[in-house]
Amino acid sequence: MLLIVGTIRLPPGNLDVARPVMKRMVEGTRAEDGCLEYSYAEDVLDRGLIHVKEMWRDQPSLDRHFESPHLAEWRAAWPELGFHDRKLRSYEVGEARET
């Protein structure tokens, strides 16, 4: 499995405009074969900082995601919405277990 975590940033004043675009991205991605988890969360202390968490079954699933229409739409919206400072890291992980 692949775990991707990180952050992206946008001007706090653009959050309301960005939410519908982020919603389409999340819903489209969650429907993809191989997507186990996909979410964005606004930081409670740093307005405009969005935490990203993704879990993918395998690399081919993630590779197909990179070719998806909703990802192209998402990336095309970044300049207008002011998204910047994208910092994501990918980790290969084993099976999940309760702690």
pLDDT tens, position by position, 51-75: 999 999 999 999 999 999 999 999 9
Asked if residue 55 lies in contact with residue 27, where contact means CB atoms within 8 angstroms, the answer is no
Residue closest to 8 by CA, chosen among 66, 53, 50, 71: 50
Question: Mean pLDDT, to the nearest integer, of 11-25?
Answer: 96
Domain presence at residue 99: no
Q: pLDDT class for 39, splitting at 50, 70, 90? A: very high
Domain presence at residue 98: no
Domain extent, residue 54, equals 2-92
Q: Is the pLDDT of residue 50 over 90?
A: yes
* Number of domains into which the chain is organized: 1
Domain presence at residue 74: yes
Please give the Cα distance from 16 to 14 (Å, whole number): 6
Q: What is the CATH number of the domain that holds 44?
A: 3.30.70.100
Q: pLDDT class for 99, splitting at 50, 70, 90? A: confident
pTM over 0.85: yes
Computed over every residue of the chain, the mean pLDDT equals 96
Asked if residue 29 lies in contact with residue 70, where contact means CB atoms within 8 angstroms, the answer is yes
Domain presence at residue 23: yes
